[in-house]
Amino acid sequence: MNADQAGSSVRPQNQVTPSSIPPHDTLSDRRADIEAKQASVAALLRETGRDGLLLLEPENFTWITAGATPRGHLEPSSLPAVYCTPDARWLICSNVDTQRLFDEELDGLGFQLKEWPWHWGREQLLADLCAGRKLVCDRYPGDFEANAVRIDQALWQLRCCLSVYEQACLLSLGEVVADALETTCRTLHAGESERDIAGQIAHRLIRRGVYPLQTGVAVDGRSRYYRRFGFTSAVLERTAVLCATGRKYGLHVSASRTVSLGDPGASLLAEHTTAVKVCAAYLTSTCRDAVPSQVLQNGKRLYLLGNAEHEWLLAPQGHLTGRRAVEQLFTPQTSQGLRAGSVVTWCASVGAALCRDTYLVTDQAPLTVTPTNNWPLKRIRAQGEEWVLPDILIR
């Protein structure tokens, strides 16, 4: 049964609220976040007995800088990097990028500069930096450095547990992604193509500073046949499933929404109900120390009860997200428990229906990162708990 429509953002019941998470737009908050990460780096260097940490991967660059974003790079070897010692940090970048990075991204955040001329490339600068030093690195910087120890797993553990500052950034991003999808659903018209609709989603994201990493639109049941869809010239007649993954602050958020121009039909309604029930089963088990393989088992039982036992085999059901769009894909073999501060995207698909949203793992119940706003809702009871999840918008 549908829940009453709400005039403000509605989150699943039994959840903490973001009221304890402070605003994220002050320089002092961001500087404090970076200093805390510097302390983690110092501890890592003491533990490994190394002189410095070299971060070359984009996701680690955005982590240590608390969201600085490289722009306009078509060649990976020209991307900026960061070098840290226990008590200092340097931006490593091309002279093409220095001014913008400090003007728009890093001014006042305690970074020093090591710059290479664009026509040299960064390899020589990295070779000079590594000479005579024992380093840890998120990947091997090149054949010239024999003393670098790869330590990407430890960094993955650090960046997948979001700080309070990062959580505030994440919630801000999630509201924008959800709003872009819902506003597009409210304003699209019959006769528009999937390309037209995807363009509307992307426009609404970009105008609010969010990079549309992925947008998908499947009209009139195409999502039944393609569980991973983009957009084509197909023209909307009645129903559309919209999804998007947006990136801002170096973080990623994914969501989906479904709209019908008139009666969506009994088949889609039943499929959507089953998908929502599966997501509710996932949410019931989304807590600190929960093991994803066991969480997936809960979803499989709901698929079975909905006479859709094969559906979980047709598409991935969820993943960790954060600095990478997919930090870890959940499979029946994923045995590492969830941690408070990590971020999960659950994605249940049944027939043409898709139920996808992003959640922050907390010490209590999961917090919805992509909340609805004046959207039809469906109340689902799972394992004694009641959850409120997005339903189909019928116009």
At 263-294, the pLDDT tens digits run: 999 999 999 999 999 999 999 999 999 999 99
Are the C-beta atoms of 334 and 291 separated by less than 8 Å? Answer: yes
pLDDT for residue 6: 36
Q: Can you give the pLDDT at residue 385?
A: 83
Q: Look at residue 202 in the predicted model and tell me its pLDDT.
A: 98
Q: What is the pLDDT of residue 268?
A: 97
Kindly give the residue spans of alpha helices, DSSP state H, lying in the chain.
27-48, 58-64, 98-100, 123-130, 152-159, 164-187, 194-206, 266-284, 292-305
Cβ atoms < 10 Å from Cβ of 300: 17
For residue 26, what pLDDT is reported? 78
pLDDT band at 152, cuts 50/70/90? confident
- 220-228 contacts, C-beta under 8 A, 24 or more apart: 221/268, 221/352, 222/352, 223/349, 223/352, 223/353, 223/354, 224/351, 224/352, 227/314, 227/315, 227/349, 228/315
246 backbone dihedrals φ, ψ, rounded to 5°: -115, 150
pLDDT of res. 25: 56
Task: Please give the average per-residue pLDDT across 242-256, as a whole number.
Answer: 98
Burial 20-38 (b: 16+ CB within 10 A, else e): ebeebeeeebbeebbeebb
Question: Distance (Å, rounded) from C-alpha 61 to C-alpha 276?
Answer: 36
Q: Where are the domains of the chain?
A: 2-18+162-394, 50-159
**HSE, side-chain direction, 13 A CA sphere, residue 158:** 24
Nearest to 345 by CA among 266, 257, 286, 274: 286
Write the DSSP assignment of 189-218 as a string of letters.
-TT-BHHHHHHHHHHHHHTTT-EEEEEEEE
- pLDDT at position 364, please? 87
Burial bucket for residue 195 (CB in 10 Å: 0-12, 13-18, 19+): middle
Mean pLDDT, range 189-200, rounded to an integer: 98
Dihedral pair phi/psi, residue 186, rounded to 5°: -75, -20
Q: Which CATH architecture group holds 2-18+162-394? A: Alpha-Beta Complex (3.90)
The 10s digit of each residue's pLDDT in 89-102 is 999 999 999 999 99
Query: Where residue 8 falls among pLDDT bands split at 50, 70, 90?
Result: very low
- Read off the pLDDT band of 155 (50, 70, 90): very high
Confidence of residue 141 (pLDDT cuts 50, 70, 90): low
- For the entire predicted model, the pTM comes to 0.92
Average pLDDT, whole number, for the chain?
Answer: 91
Where does 135-163 have alpha helices with state H?
152-159
Residue 381, pLDDT score: 85
Question: Any alpha helices (H) in 131-163, and if so which ranges?
Answer: 152-159
- Percent above pLDDT 90 for the chain: 81
Q: b/e for 304-324, b at 16 or more Cβ within 10 A?
A: eebebeebbeeeebbbbbbbb
More confident residue, 145 or 228: 228
Tell whether the model's pLDDT for residue 130 goes beyond 90.
no
Q: Which fold has domain 50-159?
A: Creatine Amidinohydrolase; Chain A, domain 1 (3.40.350)
Mean pLDDT, rounded, for 219-225: 97
Q: What is the pLDDT of residues 36-92, one digit of tens each?
A: 999 999 999 999 999 999 999 999 999 999 999 999 999 988 999 999 999 999 999
pLDDT band at 166 (very low <50, low <70, confident <90, very high): very high
* pLDDT range class, residue 384, cuts 50, 70, 90: confident
Please state, in angstroms and rounded to a whole number, the distance separating the CA atoms of residues 273 and 377.
11
The mean pLDDT value for 254-258 works out to 98
Using the predicted structure, report yes or no on whether residue 148 has a pLDDT greater than 60: yes
Is 249's pLDDT higher than 50? yes
Residue 19's pLDDT is 45
Give the model's pLDDT for residue 237: 98
Whether 379 has a pLDDT exceeding 60, the answer reads: yes
Q: Is the pLDDT of residue 140 over 90?
A: no
> What's the CA angle centered on 160, arms 365 and 93, to 5 degrees?
145
Summarised one tens digit per residue, pLDDT across range 338-354 is 999 999 999 999 999 99
The pLDDT of residue 128 is above 60: yes
pLDDT at 144: 55
